[in-house]
A and B are shown apart, each in its own frame.
Chain A
């Protein structure tokens, strides 16, 4: 009888699927509720992740490293900072959607601080999110929060660069976990 070999990395997902199936079979409320909220997150992820990765792929093959390096690399100065912030404001999605973009930025030579400034700006300055924020919390709150956040996460970007100076920092492309025992 052939043994079924499942890649280790799927264990958690399988366990969850099993737990959810059991929840529905036995009327376990929490399991069902969790699944419902999972559905909406899944929908959210599926609705834009493919687009992001297509764009990143195109970006990877079309834009030469030298160009990006000149724009947001080590020596780009204020322009570089401005550009990554601009890039961040034009995006949408939760934080983990920024990671792949950070990877491609790194691959193309962006400086460490610009990568982290990008992440900071991504978290707080996405234009779609700002419009939500203005709607619910008011223009005054949104304006004050945004304007205060900008210099602070720029500082964090510099701090990250300084703190990681000696650690040969790199953004890794996540590799699939090897098939195995």
Chain B
């Protein structure tokens, strides 16, 4: 995909520049990056496995069915909850959101769903715990959950 190519080219460029200025430092940098990667590899893999399982249990069809016609308080809460639990990659979540809109879900519901989808992640808790600790993780997700509902409401109002 285009983005990856851009990222790859950018990284290669940075590497070359860095190599040009200081070979030793560059190698140290790569080593450091690799070590950080090693430390987080297993939790990342665990998350991906869990995401795949969750997505199987709550597939797109189910989400469309549940949220398709929804509006009002119940719809918003449902959207927020589903968005919090799942972690869907961008190129899947946008078509899904578009489908929801077409099926009659309100702008508020879709905005809430998208925001919680992106900003709240129950599935990513294990990894997030490792980086930020339990307290900050819970706080962040709770605040984002509330923020998502607020954002959904405002977007619905102003659309």
List A residues at the B interface (Cβ < 8 Å).
Answer: 9-10, 12-13, 16, 30, 33-35, 37-38, 40-42, 44-45, 47-62, 92, 94-96, 99-100, 102-103, 116, 119-120, 123-124, 128-129, 132-133, 135-137, 140-141, 144-145, 148-149, 152-153, 155-156, 159-160, 163-164, 167, 169-176
In Å, the complex CA distance between A84 and B31 comes to 26
Question: What residues make up the interface of B, taking CB atoms closer than 8 Å to A?
Answer: 1, 3-4, 7-8, 10-11, 14-15, 18, 25-26, 28-34, 36-40, 42-49, 51-53, 55-56, 87, 89-91, 94-95, 97-98, 101, 107, 110-111, 114-115, 118-119, 121, 124, 127-128, 130-133, 135-136, 139-140, 143-144, 147, 150-151, 154-155, 158-159
- Which residues from A are CB-within-8-Å of B25? 61-62
Q: In the bound complex, how far is the Cα of B7 from the Cα of A53, in angstroms?
A: 12
Closest residue of A by beta carbon distance from B107: A141
B100 to chain A, nearest CB (A): 10
Q: Taking A57-B36, A144-B159, A164-B135 as contacts, is the C-beta distance between A137 and B29 under 8 angstroms?
A: no
A133 to B101, CA, bound (A): 13
Given A12-B49, A53-B34, A120-B119 in contact, is the A61-B29 Cβ separation under 8 Å?
yes
Q: Flag if B131 contacts A61 (CB, 8 Å).
A: no
A148-B151 contact, Cβ under 8 Å, with A58-B33, A100-B40: yes
Q: Is the CB of B143 within 8 A of A167?
A: no
Is there contact, CB below 8 Å, between A61 and B28?
yes
Q: Are A30 and B56 in contact (CB under 8 A)?
A: yes
A42, A52, A58: the one contacting B26 at CB < 8 Å is A58
Question: Is the pair A54, B140 in contact by a Cβ cutoff of 8 Å?
Answer: no
A164 touches B136 (CB 8 A): yes
Contact across chains for B131 and A120 when beta carbons are under 8 A apart: no
CB distance A57 to B136 under 8 Å?
Answer: no
Give B121's nearest chain A residue, CB to CB. A95
Whether B159 and A174, one on each chain, are in contact in the complex, defined by CB atoms closer than 8 angstroms, is no
- B114→A145 contact, CB < 8 A: yes
Residues of B contacting A103 in the complex (Cβ-Cβ under 8 angstroms): 36, 131
Task: Assess the A176–B38 pair: CB atoms within 8 A.
Answer: yes
Closest 8 CB pairs of A and B: A57-B33, A53-B33, A174-B130, A57-B29, A136-B94, A61-B29, A123-B119, A38-B52
In the complex, are the beta carbons of B53 and A132 less than 8 A apart? no
Contact present for A54 and B97 (CB under 8 Å): no
Given contacts A102-B131, A120-B119, A141-B111, contact A169 B143 (CB under 8 A): no
